[in-house]
Each structure stands twice: as structure tokens, then as C-alpha cells.
Chains A and B, each alone.
Chain A
Amino acid sequence: MTPILELSHLEKSFGNHVILRDINFKVNAKDVISVIGASGSGKSTMLRCINLLEIPSGGEILFHGNPILDRKNDIPDYRTKVGMVFQNFNLFSNMSVLENCMVGQIKVLKRSKEEAKIKAMHFLEKVEMEPFINAKPRQLSGGQKQRVAIARALSMEPELLLFDEPTSALDPLMVGEVLSVMKTLAREGLTMIVVTHEMSFARDVSNYVVYMDDGYIIEEGSPDKLFNNPNQEKTKKFLATILS
């Protein structure tokens, strides 16, 4: 079976500052992959390259075997299938919660208003934000915003959802509500790549963990292997600091 997504020899530099070097990995259906690593190691950049918010400087990204860096590839169409949840939510501040979850369905997927609303309500219920459909983003707490952002991404029914530190901008009290939504999604079989500093999520929810250091993936494997039996000294050191 071809994987949903495959990165091969992916590279990214800004000017002569090399950020990502020779990144390789595969994402199969229902995988929940956690990406961990120190600040500045290139985790966000990798995720943004996958979503083409940054254009990689080298290597290949294959989506169901198709090279998406190809000039002829329809980037917006690809992005409807690979969604993204941001650290700072990026909800549309000129729209209500419900409109945030409908606009992409209507304008991009050309769904009818009725269908879009039913879908939006379905996913807002899933993240327990349906009572707030009339609120504007500025009227919500961080945790609520992030749950709406997840519902917005889900409304497009992507095949793969990318999360870039979805809980890093939240108060400790709100981290739990967002993580529990993500756990539910993982359990239901959504394919996701999650950049996170929440080691409990990486260990207990994901089935594969990638450790990045200075632009390289230097260790990867099952959570058990990575957390209990890391091979690399750097991984051990990182885990020791972050788990202490």
C-alpha cells in the first residue's frame, strides 16, 4: 500500500541558513505521528513545508505517490486534503465560529450552505463548541479557539491533519480540553502529525515518534522505543531535560 504521505530527502534553507536536512519519513493511514525536539530544531518548518506554507528547497513530497512539488500540482486542492492547526489558532476574526467552519466548505469545496452548516455543526459538536456558533473568535478563550480551529480543519474532511504545537499558546488549564479532543480524533482513526512538547501525548497517544535535532531527524520509532530505549545520546539528554 502506498503511504498517504512520504517525505524524501526534504531540505529547506532560508538564504544560506539551512533549517532542514535530508528529512525522510512516511505517513500511513491512521498513523498518529508525534514530532518532538528542542526549540529551533526545525519542527514547525517541516510541518509548514508539508503544507507548502514554505516551499522546500530540495527533496520530494509524495502524496499518495504523486509529487506535489511538481509545478503543475494544484496547491490549494492539496491543502484541502492536508489540513493544518496552528499554535495561534488563526481563526478568521471577521467571522463567527460557525462561519469559520463553513467558509472553506462553501468557497473551496463548493458545498451548499445547508450541507456546509450540517457538517460544521457536526464537527463543532465533536469539539463541544456548538453552543458558541454565534461568537466571534475574540470572545473565546484560547482553548475554545483552538477547538474551533480543529473543527474548522475537520470540516474540510482532510485525509491528514497537521498540528503545530496546538497547546503551546494555552494556559495549563486549557491544555487538557484540547488534548482530549485530539485523543478522541486519534482514537477514531484520523491520520495526524503533531508537533508537540506534551510528552504524555507523544508517549500515550501516538504510534510513532520522530525526534528532531538541528534540522535532522536523528531518532524515530515507536513511543516505547523512543522513550524507554533511545539509541542517541542527544535524544536521552533531551528526554532527561524535558521529563524532569
Chain B
Amino acid sequence: MISEMNFFERIIYILQSYGMSYLAGAGTTLAIAIVATIIGCLIGFAAGVVQTIPLNLDRDSKVKVFLIKAVQTFLHMYVELFRGTPMIVQAVFIYYGLAQIWGIQLGMWQAAFLVVSVNTGAYMAESVRGGIISVDPGQMEGAKSIGMNHVQSMMNVILPQAFRNILPQIGNNLIINIKDTSVLSVISIVDLFFVHKSVSGALYTYFESASIVMLIYLTMTVSVSRLLRLFEKYLDGSDNYELANHMDIGNQMNKKRL
């Protein structure tokens, strides 16, 4: 009987009976966290880009200025709303609220992805805006000076640099999301934390189950942060460069030696 086992025997027993459930829960957690972080980043980039559109009151038409200002105000409110309230409340609010007020019955999965994405988007919007602003203004002037319009300058010059600058924050958000999806158990998402609650509820093994779950969360977050480090290194390229050789340069090199 489980009450007669020691700590390790209990862990082994739990893993033998529920190991697959923990893994499935971890898979769900990871899937929601990764997908929602990606969608959140897309929202964040879109919002950050709109919030940094330069307005030229002399040249731009009044309609354009008004529209952009309206969207910017809306985005500002969105950011404040989702940064300023707990995700656990947002989950309940959206899942039950949409159904009750507008009659939209979201599946719990849709609600889960929606809540985490929109929440991440609010944080990323601010990060992206900051990332764009912190790129040296000279980069934008360089882009303009060769005739790029605003969109081309953003796509080719500013956003790649902003992306690199905020990559650590994207990683941070991913890690936060891996942990915070645990609140989705309020709308019955069977994630890692939900499995823990079920198992420990059934066996009264709170400490043992928590130990297992802690270890799984930690494994996921540490792996993610390692992978992101590698990705950063990859993006930065090597520290040195190769001098181009004859083949690349053509016959010019015959004249010069380097």
C-alpha cells in the first residue's frame, strides 16, 4: 500500500502509474506556451510597428493621421488592460464572458491559446516598441538615404535589429508562459499542473507529485533558455570574417596583395 512506501518508492509508483499523464500534461503545457508565444510575438510586432509609425502632420492626409492615431490609442488600451490584470482572471473572463455576453462559446483550447497569446502580445508590444526605439536613429537615416520607404526600412533594417535586441525578452516570455499556463487549469485545460492536481488528489501524494512536476517544469525552462542562447549565438554570426579570395573577387586581386 502506498502509505507504507518511502519517498522514492512513492515517486516510482506514481511514475509507473501516471508517468504518461505527466508527459502528456507537459506536452500540452509546452505546446500552449510555444504557440502562444509565437502568436504573441506576431501581435507584439504588429502593435509595436504601428505604435512607431512616424506621423508628418504637414504631408500626411488628415484621414491617415486620424486612423493611425485611433489604432494607436486602441493598442495602448489593449496593452494596459492585459498587462494590468492577472491572466487567471482574464482566462475566466474570456471563457465565460464571451459565452454569456456575446453568446460565443469558445472551446477551452481556443480560449487557452487566445488568453495566453493576447496576454503575451500585450507584453511584447511594449518590448517591440522599446526595441524599435532603441535602434540607433542613424540606421533609419541610412535606410532613407538610399531611398527606402518606411516599410522597407523597417523590414530590412530596423526590425531585424530590434528582433535581435529583444530576443532575451522573447525567451523570458516563453519561460513565463511555460509556468503560467498552469493557471489555465481554471478552465479545465489538462496541462502539467492539472495532472499534478489530479494525481495528488487521488493518491494524497502532494509532496512527491510536486517534486516530479517541479523537475519537469525546470527541465523545460532550462532547455528552452539553453536553446535560445544557441539561437542568439547563431544570429550573431562568428566573431571573425574571412577575407574574400581570388574567386570571389575576380581579377582585381592580381593588382593588389593583402
A binds B: yes
Interface residues of A (CB under 8 A from B): 51, 53, 55, 71, 76-80, 83-84, 86, 88-94, 96, 103-104, 107-109, 121, 125, 128, 130-136, 139, 149, 152-153, 156
User: Do A133 and B244 have beta carbons less than 8 Å apart?
Assistant: yes
Partner of B141 from the list A86, A94, A132 (CB cut-off 8 Å) is A86
Interface residue? B147 (CB, 8 A): yes
CA distance A55 to B55 in the complex (A): 13
Footprint of A on B, CB under 8 Å? Answer: 56, 58-59, 136, 138-139, 141-149, 152, 156-157, 160-161, 164, 237, 240-244, 248-250, 252-253, 256, 258
Q: Is the CB of A108 within 8 A of B161?
A: no
Q: A79-B144, A90-B138 are in contact. Are A107 and B152 (CB under 8 A)?
A: yes
Indicate which residue in A53, A76, A131, A134 contacts B149 across the interface (CB closer than 8 Å): A76
Question: Are B249's CB and A104's CB within 8 A?
Answer: no
Residues of B within 8 A of A125 (CB): 249, 252
User: Would you mind naming 16 contact pairs between A and B with Cβ atoms under 8 Å apart?
Assistant: A71-B59, A76-B144, A83-B145, A88-B138, A89-B138, A90-B139, A91-B142, A93-B139, A94-B160, A103-B146, A108-B152, A131-B249, A131-B253, A132-B244, A134-B244, A139-B241
The answer to whether B145 touches A51 (Cβ under 8 A) is yes
Q: How far is the CB of B147 from chain A (nearest CB, A)?
A: 4
Q: Would A94 and B157 count as touching, CB distance under 8 A?
A: yes
Do B147 and A156 touch (CB < 8 A)?
yes
Complex contact A53–B258 (CB within 8 A): no
* A80 B161 Cβ-Cβ under 8 A: no
Q: Which of B146, B157, B244, B258 contacts A108 (CB 8 A)?
A: B146
* Min CB gap B244→A, angstroms: 5
Determine the distance from Cα of A128 to Cα of B258 in the docked complex, in whole angstroms. 11
Q: Among B144, B164, B241, B249, point to the contact of A94 (Cβ < 8 A).
A: B164
Residues of B within 8 A of A88 (CB): 138
- Of chain A, the residue at the smallest CB distance from B142 is A90
CB distance from A93 to the nearest CB of B (A): 7
- For residue B146, which residues in chain A have a CB less than 8 angstroms away from its CB? 79-80, 83, 103-104, 108, 152-153, 156
Question: Contact at A76–B147, with CB atoms within 8 Å?
Answer: yes
Q: In whole angstroms, how far apart are the Cα atoms of A83 and B144 in the complex?
A: 9
What's the Cα separation between A80 and B59 when bound, in Å?
A: 20
CB neighbours (8 Å) of A78 from chain B are: 147
Q: How many angstroms between the C-alpha atoms of A71 and B61 in the bound complex?
A: 10
Report whether B241 and A108 are in contact in the complex, using a CB–CB cutoff of 8 Å. no
B141 x A76 contact (CB < 8 A): no
Across the interface, B249 reaches (CB within 8 A) one of A79, A93, A130, namely A130
CA distance A172 to B136 in the complex (A): 25
The chain A residue sitting closest to B258, CB to CB, is: A131
Can you name the residue of chain A whose Cβ is closest to the Cβ of B145? A84
Question: CB-CB < 8 A to A131: which residues of B?
Answer: 243-244, 249, 253, 258
